[in-house]
Structure 1
């Protein structure tokens, strides 16, 4: 029996040595998905079933003799990847009209989306479905389903592609109908529309490949079987150039430059060298170490009367330590109320902790503390703190003691007690950098202006403010933006495309000068009325009303305005004639001499686990060019506080009336200042970009938005208007 067992054990050991080892996380260098040539996680030309970690943001460029891809990808949700791409074609010009586009290369704008269907498990591969170039003119449009399985140092992918990724037609399709197997490759209007009718049609191919993580951590290798045969590429069909494919196999390498980026090189089609570079970060894990004023230690003092407390010192500490500025402190022996704006901490729990400790250390007999948060002198939310319960937290009398154990959010009430200290001032000044940019235009690929806005305001009463700002243009290249009447003949009123005259022709300009009145009705209604020079391009009068219940994920608002366009050749003048002559272009154009504009807006924050930290805004109304329609704005807030969003406006203008792009759209990122500074701050920097400067679907730029002002009414909300 022992001999039999020994033989069986020997046989088992031999079999184990003969079989490949089962991979685990400790066997090999960690595998990290990398970007494809087009942006988005993939191999080279082909995608994979993989997605990046939630919050990963990348900027990259891929170049060869045929195309230059400039791409940006963001993992919005664990299951949703979005990519924006601009592609230049060096062999073709933007248009055949030299006076319109000069020597600017042909530029294609595309949007890709990938949805992960399920994650990888022991038996199942990670599988995704996606659409490439869903919002452009269709240079690279295609659809795919891809599955990826990790085995040791290898990550294998197999997929099925349609359109650009399936033109080899090795699975399905009749190439006798054309290189696209009969797929409709035309596009609606002037480009930019979602041509969903052709999705998952035409040629159909199997593609596949693998990525190998070498033992040397920075280096990984790629190989793929390409589903495209490059016979219907834009370069081939629009020029005399050919894109021969000597081999359907592409090979490449990725060298990681640490967590922030990588360099890519590949040999594709058996004859083409392609190089790429990607920078990346993660909006969820992005953080900074602050040099902050520490929370005071608990001193245990109790039983002090109101008259024995240095309230001026308390007000100073509330501002410098807890971030409550412009404060009024009311107190009696039963309660202490602090009324002010929170300008330091984006995390309100941290502000509550510091404020509660400061008030506790006064030794007051008060049984409750009340923090009433203000914005533009309007109360938005009140936080009640049980003083006795907080003393137990301050003294760490139980495990896991936290200020949230003692707080309760309510609608603001009238402050109790006598006014003990007042640090509020009727005036304020500010200086902020400003960046405006447009990508992919006909005159130049990248148009921008950078400057500084200096502002000041004065409160005439608790509810009425007069204020304004002066913009100083430091540098721009908008002198290239001539906006001659384009070949498509678009003839809307020039509400935004006069940007050159306002920026390049005026280095210093009053951007805003207005009188604003605020008020509040009941607990949930906020209103404002305003008049003056409302923004760089428009002056007029208007009003806004917002209904926003406390702690509700819904809100409703309406703004109504009557505005006229400011004359860029006069500091305070307004256009009174509709038709004008542009000596630069030798053309006549129309402007806005007076129009009503405004929108009804619904704000919604889904509270679904798979749609975490989203804000959805839908606005219906009339725009500056007198077109009517809907704007949809969706933004996502990440753990670091970074907000990324996109918007589109579809109006009653036809694609031909709107011009190139078919409808207005854009993207933006709002970045907290304190990610880059050593001090905490509630201020933000907004970076936005639009594919093209056009006149349809344009809203009035307003100084104040009531929804932003009342962010404190929803827990942990930092969403801001673009």
Structure 2
């Protein structure tokens, strides 16, 4: 379940969130290009590469993200599938089964959450088929639990043949043997890996063929090894045959629309929408080009005459550079001139790819600074913290402008910005900003209602008294919604630190979303600090302190955060409740390369439980991020309740990727199976790691291709 009120607000990921839309809705508006669509295999009713109800071998193109909604008989399945790596993919599925009298159903409808993994063991060649192994519903109730080994081969253009062996549900019809005993009861709480069932029990064959006479149309025939025993005996599903057949139509934008006749008695249909974070909607972007580098004459490069009147020259350079950077959407904050070096203090509110801001600043400097200045030092600052110092030789800019960006990167030094930023110009601070915008607070996968939401208006403001001292607040007014209509109160063996969200929605109208004072700092080289005091989030007020260690050229960062908070009154005004807790974590962050980032947090959570959260995200140069996390604490599965432990999937879609214009805004969403009290963390805006790492060498190297954009 998405955390109500926070899924679409600034979270621990970089860049601020747009409050007006959900990520899943945005995905439906982002089709692939035709060239990408031709590479994507057909997806089945489970929302992964397959025929109709059975899987096929082979992956989708790397980083393909697909959303499938399918319906046949009493079954409705909604699946999010992501090609995590070239051979590995994962799925999260939310299913609704009508007329299914299982424990926990609502008015005869049973809701189920499940996760899948599949891995390509062998790629297809002219002499062998592709072979894939898969785990279906390996974390869940086990309702759709099954494993398979499947092979697929193209015999001639357009004709593909598939054969495989299945276990669990996929071994429940026409079995040809057994690999041991397999438990078959549904797991009431769900959420636990069902490793005691994997590749155990009856094994049965399945298979089929598909034929594509052209790039848009596919005909499919399959033999299914799923008996649908539970649906047939407890529901109104009437299976008459193991044979399924159907047709897929692939639109030029990549969307797959399918119509099936399944199990001799049912008509099925599905739609699958695709996108791929690796491919921009507007390749290269549509922003205006920067001004070219101004090349000096040999005489100008040696002329130090300006130093006899350096004050006047500096004043003129500041004015010219400020004007030039404003045209680029960048903010000039200060400048220090020396005979051979210029250091500029820069704020970047526009460019999601930091090197693009650095490149445009360097070009502007080449056009307005005295010719004798050979070294440009650009110091980007965020919340008053100098995060790095990018040193570029002017002569390299002049000679390499039309070469690959990697050439200038090889000659660029990226240093720690500690004590290197010029003082900000007089009159910049204090600085006041405000905004009025819509907001949406989402709650998904409630057992009584799959989707709940509140919508309203948010009035927010920031006052930057000093560069590193920020007063921030936001007030919300709900215009409509049903988050407050949760009638059931799930049992919890823990303090209700998150599960009272419906009460906050009901009584908090209007509400003070947050009201804080934050102080950021650079205590020493490689160190960054934050202290935040006030009404920190929707449910908690108190004090939060953080210290981060990160070297500017290192993939590793270490941090510690300590918080002391009290629970806020449900009306989200100034009152506090009795519950208070000290919570905090020690964290390790690591950039594994190739876009994979890991994070480990160890400490105490809001309910007083101790444990650890492990997260792995795949990130792309254009700002996309897709990841997953899991939290394990000393809370027993029984005390935690349904779901057994906290886990979820998170997405971040940069606005610049959608519009083709530079932006540091993004849509962030967290897809959780449930909101529970175990493993719950405080939501604090402005955590350090996501601010700092954007301006360090590993992250900048990934997006350095935009230096000349």
The TM tier, using the shorter chain, reads 0.7 to 0.9
Match for residue 567 of structure 1? 569
Give the one of 27, 42, 53 matched to 2:50: 42
Contact 1:189/1:655 (<8 A) preserved: no
Q: Closer, same or farther in 2 for the Cα pair 1:280/1:475, shift >3 Å?
A: farther
Match for residue 353 of structure 1? 359
Distance 1:540 1:269 in 2: 59
1:254 aligns with 2:248: yes
**1:121-166 deviation digits (Å, cap 9, x = unpaired):** 2222222111001111011101111111122211111111111111
Distance 1:74 1:213 in 2: 24
Give the one of 569, 585, 598 matched to 1:599: 585
Distance 2:502 2:393 in 1: 57
3-state SS of paired residue (1:389)? helix
Match for residue 236 of structure 1? 232
Give the one of 76, 90, 94 matched to 1:68: 76
Per-residue deviation at 1:448?
2.2
Distance 1:450 1:34 in 2: 36
Give the one of 129, 135, 142 matched to 1:131: 135
Distance 1:124 1:507 in 2: 63
**Structure 1 residues 195-234: aligned runs within 5 Å:** 195-215=194-214, 217-231=215-229, 233=230
3-state SS of paired residue (1:170)? coil
Q: Which is further off, 286-295 or 383-392?
A: 286-295
Contact 2:45/2:270 (<8 A) preserved: yes
Q: Closer, same or farther in 2 for the Cα pair 1:165/1:382, shift >3 Å?
A: same
* Structure 1 unpaired stretches of 5+: 1-28, 175-180, 577-592
3-state SS of paired residue (2:191)? coil
Contact 1:84/1:110 (<8 A) preserved: yes
Contact 1:314/1:358 (<8 A) preserved: yes
Give the one of 142, 148, 151 matched to 1:147: 151
1:113 aligns with 2:117: yes
User: Which of the pair has more CA radius of gyration?
Assistant: 1
Per-residue deviation at 1:242?
5.0
Give the one of 335, 354, 357 matched to 2:341: 335
Match for residue 25 of structure 1? none
Contact 2:66/2:272 (<8 A) preserved: yes
3-state SS of paired residue (1:516)? strand
1:173 aligns with 2:155: no
**1:612-645 deviation digits (Å, cap 9, x = unpaired):** 2111111111111112211112211134321112
Distance 2:360 2:499 in 1: 49
Match for residue 510 of structure 1? 512
Contact 2:544/2:561 (<8 A) preserved: yes
Distance 2:138 2:129 in 1: 26
Q: Scaled by the length of structure 1, what TM-score is found?
A: 0.85
Contact 1:104/1:444 (<8 A) preserved: no
**Structure 1 residues 254-333: aligned runs within 5 Å:** 254-288=248-282, 290-301=285-296, 302=300, 303=303, 305=306, 306=310, 307-308=312-313, 309-321=316-328, 323-325=329-331, 327-333=333-339
1:387 aligns with 2:394: yes
**1:403-446 deviation digits (Å, cap 9, x = unpaired):** 43542111115448898887565333345654432322122111
3-state SS of paired residue (1:460)? strand
Q: Closer, same or farther in 2 for the Cα pair 1:66/1:224, shift >3 Å?
A: same
Contact 1:329/1:421 (<8 A) preserved: no
Match for residue 414 of structure 2? 409
Q: Closer, same or farther in 2 for the Cα pair 1:274/1:524, shift >3 Å?
A: same
Per-residue deviation at 1:453?
3.5
Contact 1:43/1:223 (<8 A) preserved: yes
Point out which structure has higher relative CO (alpha carbons under 8 A, 6+ apart).
2
Match for residue 11 of structure 1? none
3-state SS of paired residue (1:606)? strand
3-state SS of paired residue (1:715)? helix
Distance 2:207 2:247 in 1: 16
Distance 1:594 1:420 in 2: 43
Give the one of 622, 626, 640 matched to 1:640: 622
Distance 1:293 1:337 in 2: 26
**1:330-351 deviation digits (Å, cap 9, x = unpaired):** 2232211111222222223322
3-state SS of paired residue (1:84)? strand
Per-residue deviation at 1:557?
1.0
Match for residue 468 of structure 2? 463
Distance 2:333 2:38 in 1: 52
Give the one of 682, 691, 694 matched to 2:664: 682
Report how many residues are paired: 650
3-state SS of paired residue (1:317)? helix
1:705 aligns with 2:687: yes
Distance 1:492 1:341 in 2: 44
Match for residue 240 of structure 2? 245
**1:281-322 deviation digits (Å, cap 9, x = unpaired):** 11111333644242113444545835344421311322431x
Contact 1:370/1:384 (<8 A) preserved: yes
Match for residue 23 of structure 1? none
Distance 2:263 2:699 in 1: 51
* Structure 2 unpaired stretches of 5+: 1-36, 703-709
1:190 aligns with 2:189: yes
Q: Which is further off, 76-85 or 441-450?
A: 441-450
Q: Which is further off, 639-648 or 282-291?
A: 282-291
Per-residue deviation at 1:376?
0.9
Distance 2:331 2:101 in 1: 55
